[in-house]
Structure 1
Amino acid sequence: MNPAARIGREIRFLSGLARTLWRVRKIDSDSDDLICDDFENAVDRFEDHTALIFEGQRYTYRQLDALANRFAAWADGQGVKTGDTVALLLPNRAEYIPAWAGLAKVGAATALINNNLTGAALAHCLRISGAQHVITDKETLAAVETIRAGLAKPLTYWVIDGEDEGESRRKLDLHEPKLPPERPSRGRRAGLKARDVALYIYTSGTTGMPKAAKITHTRAQLYMRAFAGATNSNAEDKVYCALPLYHSTGGLCGVGAALLNGGTLVLRRKFSATHFWDDVADNDCTIFVYIGELCRYLVNQPPHPKERAHRLKLAFGNGLRPEVWTEFQERFGVKNILEFYGSTEGNVSMFNFDGQPGAIGRIPGYLRGSFAVRLVKFDVEAEAPVRGPDGLCLLTDVGEPGEAIGLIKDDARHNYSGYADKAASERKVLRDVFELGDAWFRTGDLMRQDAEGYFYFVDRIGDTFRWKGENVSTTEVAEVIARYPGVDEANVYGVKIDRIDGRAGMAAITPGAEFKLDGLRDFLMRELPNYARPLFIRMTPAIETTGTFKYRKVDLVRDGFDPAKIEQELYFDCPETHTYIRVTPEVYAKIQSGGFKL
């Protein structure tokens, strides 16, 4: 890199970093200012600006605030107290942000439930939320019927635009005169501090069921304010979001970039590659929030007449692979890409402000002392950091993969709130790392850092893998498959498909006498969300275990779904026939060449 280019890179990096740090500088865990105060401040500044466009309907900041106030009034009417939790089980829709903002105004926390969940996973998430009330809609209410295990205590489901159906199914009419659009007094949330919980966002780990990450007001403010600064958005920007609002990337980062700066959030219920460019161009969008998988879908689409007839100046998000990155920019003419790294529950975050393809962030050497992020040597087989003769962890060398960890301190940027489950929280803490008594958050991600300070993602530690932008717990999926009649054993893992981000689910099944393949697909469709259903099924007479009786997956992952390496029956969930078909060499070649829409 020549001197002029190097100087330009540093200017871009430092400008982005300065904007971001400036926006988060006043966040204080002991403050009385909560995330709903940030929302109200934006409303007061941009009252009549368009805040949200959803399915052809426009909402001003004032109108969104009125909706939020109605949710606050509803909570008051139901006796929801400060510190209580209400569950939100909704798809993307206009009421989503006002719902949690309104509940925050009366001191309640909101559990953001993945609306794709069904069965035992849905019951688990509702149960651990501690909520008595669930806000949902007619579309999502059907998922409640799949809960078979039951709940320890009865819940009341409040259905937006629904009808009363007994005590457990109640209509939530946001036009009801008894739900005033005026703001509740700030005294209604008196005593709450920014360190208190505002939201629960669920994340899948390796324990088999989703875990509820505690998102304090501090953490929510960090997400929203940071991206308002990092994206450099303004009141003229329109941010396109087709990501689910129950996740932090869309629901906090994307929302913050739009609403805290007076811009407009253009919200879609679900992502559609075929409608994307029409949406972006027709709504005059200038910023797009992504996960890498969405960008891959777009570059795999045939040419669209509007794919360069748009005003997108920035795409920001995470998980954009290097090979997709360059093609996405060059084909669609999106000048700037802002890739970032962060986890819902963790304290490690970084930005790639200067657009280095494939990098998830950067900490240059001259700023290393200002950022408490380190890579430690990691033993993949033992799944533990390597410790030296003195018992302390060892830093990686340049280019060497290691686990990313973040120093835990009691301030806004470095605090670790953990999960609702204290035991799960403690498992993410690494102690006595570089000195006795210190504590660091374990990201569970392997990364490498080059000599210029850029970080690159290598792999996820453990059994959890990502598919379609979601974390898939192999333990959870295996437990579901094991409930199917005739399954003696099930071993679930992720396999790579050429040119596709993440790993597709695959299950090695030992069938018993009662096993019938014909009914398995329908069973899994009922029991698992789309992203968690295995794409491949491998029949095996026995599943190899380790000396400690853990399922051995190394050889299975190496074989993948290649019929040349597998003697047993091998099936593919074909998206064209919606049935399992045998994986022949021809089918294998078609999958690897992108011949199926996955």
Structure 2
Amino acid sequence: MSDSAVVLNPPAARSKVVPREETQAKLDARSRAAGLIKPAAQYTVADRLEEQAARFGERNFLIYGGRRFSYAEVDARANQVAHALHARGLRCGDVCALAMENRPEFFFYWFGLAKLGVVVAVINTHVSGRPLTHALETTGARAAIIGEECIENFALTPHRPAQPLYVVADAEKPARPEHRAIASADITGDVEGASRACFPRDGRAALRAEETMLLIFTSGTTGLPKAARYSHMRWMSSGDVMEVTLGATPEDVFYCCLPLYHGAAATSVTSTALKAGSSIVVRRKFSTREFWHDVRANGITVFQYIGEICRYLLNAPPQPDDRVHSLRCMLGAGLSADTWTRWLERFGPIQVFEGWGSTEANTAIINVDNYVGSCGRVPDWNKTNFRLVRYDVETESHPRDENGRYILCQPGEVGEGIGYIVNHPEIGGGRFEGYTSEEATEKKILRNVFTDGDAFWSSGDLLRYDENGYFYFVDRIGDTFRWKSENVSTAEVADALVDYPGMELINIYGVQVPGHEGRAGMAAIVMQPGHAFDPKTFYALTEARLPRYAAPQFVRVSSAADLTTTFKLRKVDLQRQGYDDKAFDDPLYVRDDAGATYAPYSLEALERAGLPPFA
């Protein structure tokens, strides 16, 4: 980090933090690892792949079903892709879209394009129509590589940009002939017949580590997603850091069950496994039924989670062999303290590396000492560009001190996590690489925060930390709302109610109430098959776990949750529909304090609750 990053005054509570030796040692090692790759270095992901293929040769890199691909084989297949696509006119600096489900070919084409110096824009395999057109337009893709399993999405998008569409065969999910007909060419045969010899480095020789390697779209929970830039340097540094954090070795086997177009699978899992010489077991998509079978059959030792995945697995019926497995650690985000505790009790002492960050983040926190419920700790504020500043959810602004500067949070205060933006030619850490849209990039930058001319990345996330320096995710800005003059965190309410018996999922959000300030809490829940919603039991749980103002005023019992393909809950449509019983067919309930229950929706129930009809 540059000297200018250190002038920030850390929170006064840092003197109360007593660093743990193992925590500090790990974090120091992470810092050293993060500084290994210089921005101007002419060193790319393709170079790392070739180095590791020479080093680990015949060791398994990818495992998919009954197929195994060594490091040398993956490198050779990437060479074939590079030769074939070079013949099709792709050159260093071009952007190529890649729409393909989790299968070995995804890696072959990704790494093959990297050998050309081509930027890969990974496309959500579930989008079509306007979202797909938006993705292709905002990345400026010169061509698109499409897995046969995804060609229908393009066929159903008539107004997409004009560019060559190259289809890659998929024996597992063959496409209909009329959909295949939109492709410019099937390049499967071209690639299979291409040379396996190392593709010449000349074309990418001048490519610097700081230049963009991937374009990864944000989850799009609130609208059309943005394409975040991910450089060669940041991708490889992620692997360097996580290798140290996880203690990864060539004996480890990673599990890739999240979609590869998502930041977690495409960055942390792949970069770490490649750096450590580990193997990756690839699954098309996450399956509750197959998860533990995959772990045991392949000796999987590390997997990356999203909080919802862990809840799905905990909702499955207990088995006698729940603790008979090879998992030693897991990394991810969104694991509540309750789910975390239940996970360890059921599946045994697995090291949990819960973290906080995002695809586009220039800073991050990670829990390296298994402190339940926390997303990490800052033992030394002089060694991080992360800061937590006060945020007023009512005015949706940052309070300022008498000098017009942002105010650092003290222990227990909720604020926004921000990251000092480092702009130095010799330093890679702390850079904010932004999006393909300059306007979207600028909207995420806070300026003149603590000193004139400084700049910070705005995460949009609310966090807090305790007297020992442990941080906890609170909510997304915009999800936290005010009711009866109190701030209500949707994430904290959901965490308090997540173990309601028989419930599969819960989504908490605020809805507008005519004539009332703020928003009233509403819960959309999905029950597990064979379980029914019991309004009295749910009411009793809210009374035991939540203050009255935070308890949901409405409950909507849905048949399915509105999830992104990376298991993030959408709230936009739910908030718009509010408690308008004419907008949906789901059973709707209103909180009834007098009856200690949630009553079926009616005008009488609203009146008893002191709430007006929806308008």
Aligned mates of 2:166, 2:518 — CA distance in 1 = 44
Please state if 1:456 is matched with 2:472: yes
Q: 2 CA distance for matches of 1:314 and 1:219?
A: 23
Matched residue type, 1:236: E
SS at match of 2:83: helix
- Equivalent-residue separation in structure 2 for 1:553 and 1:256 (angstroms): 48
Q: Which moved more, 1:34-43 or 1:498-507?
A: 498-507
Provide the secondary structure at the position in 2 that maps to 1:385.
Answer: coil
* Cα deviations by residue, 1:165-186 (Å, 9 ceiling, x for unpaired): 5573421215745421122111
Distance in structure 2 (CA, Å) of the matches to 1:494 and 1:377: 18
Match of 2:110 in 1: 100
The SS at the match of 2:46 is helix
Q: For residues 437-462 of structure 1, give each alpha carbon's deviation from its aligned partner in whole angstroms, at most 9, with x where no partner exists.
A: 11011111000111211111010012
> SS at 1:95's partner residue?
helix
Residues 301 and 422 (structure 1), Cα distance of their counterparts in 2 relative to 1, 3 Å cut = same
Greater shift, 220-229 or 274-283, is seen at: 220-229
Corresponding residue for 2:358?
Answer: 343
Residue number in structure 2 paired with 1:117: 127
- The DSSP-based 3-state class of the residue aligned with 1:384 is coil
User: Is structure 2 residue 498 aligned with structure 1 residue 499?
Assistant: yes
Residue 545 of structure 1, CA deviation = 8.8
Contact 1:110 1:198 in 2 (8 A): yes
Q: Deviation at 1:559?
A: 7.1
Match of residue 390 from structure 2: 377
Question: How far is 1:64 from its partner?
Answer: 0.8
Matched, 1:52 2:38: no
AA matched with 1:87: A
Tell me if structure 2 keeps the 8 A contact 1:496–1:502. no
Alpha-carbon distance in 2 for matches of 1:167, 1:206: 30
SS across alignment from 1:230: helix
C-alpha distance in 2, partners of 1:420/1:31? 23
Partner of 2:587: 583
**Letter aligned with residue 416 of structure 2:** E
| CA distance in structure 1 between the partners assigned to 2:203 and 2:517 by the alignment | 53
CA-CA distance at 1:129 after TM superposition: 1.6
The yes-or-no answer on 1:320 pairing with 2:284 is: no
Indicate conservation of the 8 Å contact 1:571/1:581, yes or no: no
**Deviating more after overlay: 45-54 vs 182-191:** 182-191
Shift of 1:96: 1.4
What's the secondary structure of 1:285's corresponding residue?
coil
Equivalent-residue separation in structure 1 for 2:522 and 2:196 (angstroms): 59
- RMSD after superposition: 3.5
Aligned to 1:482: none
Q: Percent identity?
A: 34
**C-alpha contact 1:495 1:557 (8 A) present in aligned 2:** no
AA aligned opposite 2:350:
K
CA distance in 1, matches of 2:90, 2:194: 14
> Deviation of residue 567 (structure 1)?
11
Aligned with 1:135 (options 138, 145, 162): 145
User: How far off is 1:413 after superposition?
Assistant: 0.9
For residue 289 of structure 2, give the secondary structure of its aligned residue in structure 1.
Answer: coil
Alpha carbons of 1:452 and 1:287: their partners in 2 closer, same or farther (altered >3 Å)? Answer: same
Q: Give the partner amino acid of 2:348.
A: G
**1:14: how far off?**
2.4
User: In structure 1, what is the Cα distance between the partners aligned to 2:403 and 2:17?
Assistant: 41
Q: In the alignment, is the contact (CA less than 8 A) between 1:133 and 1:158 conserved in 2?
A: no
Report the 3-state secondary structure (helix = DSSP H, G, I; strand = E; otherwise coil) of the residue aligned with 1:339: strand
What's the offset of the Cα at 1:200? 0.1
The answer as to 2:437 corresponding to 1:421 is yes
Alignment check: 8 A CA contact 1:243 1:270 kept: yes
- State the secondary structure of the residue aligned to 1:442: strand
Residue in 2 that maps onto 1:283: 298
The residue type equivalent to 1:572 in the other structure is: S
On the 8 A contact 1:248/1:344 being kept in 2, the answer is: yes
1:573 to 559, 562, 565: 559
Amino acid across the alignment from 2:498: R
One-letter identity of the residue aligned with 1:403: E
Give the Cα–Cα distance (whole angstroms) in 1 for the partners of residues 509 and 131 of structure 2.
Answer: 19
Q: Look up the SS of the partner of 1:63 in the other structure.
A: helix
Q: Does 1:244 align with 2:253?
A: no
Q: Where in structure 2 are the equivalents of 1:511-522 lying within 5 Å?
A: none
The structural deviation recorded for 1:294 is 1.0
Mapping for residues 219-230 of structure 1, pairs under 5 Å: 219-230=234-245
Alpha-carbon separation, structure 2, partners of 1:464 and 1:8: 32
Distance 1:35 1:316, change over 3 A: same
TM-score, normalising length: structure 1? 0.78
Q: CA deviation at 1:238?
A: 0.9
Give deviations 1:386-439, integer Å, cap 9, x for gaps.
112221101111110100111101221111110000000001000010111110
Query: Which of 412, 427, 444 matches 2:428?
Result: 412
**Unmatched tracts of structure 1, length 5 or more:** 1-5, 466-492, 509-542, 547-551, 591-598
Residues 388 and 334 (structure 1), Cα distance of their counterparts in 2 relative to 1, 3 Å cut: same
Distance 1:402 1:324 in 2: 24
2:545 is aligned to none
Distance 1:192 1:63 in 2: 25
| Aligned equivalent of 1:36 | 46
Contact preservation (8 Å) 1:494, 1:504:
no
Q: How far 1:378 moved relative to its partner?
A: 0.4
- TM-score, scaled to structure 2: 0.76
Unpaired stretches in structure 2, ≥5 consecutive residues = 1-15, 482-490, 526-532, 540-550, 562-583, 591-596, 600-615
In structure 2, the CA distance between the partners of 1:560 and 1:194, relative to structure 1 (3 Å rule), is: same
Aligned equivalents of 1:26 and 1:333: distance in 2?
Answer: 36
Contact 2:167 2:188 in 1 (8 A): no
Question: What is the aligned partner in structure 2 of residue 81 from structure 1?
Answer: 91
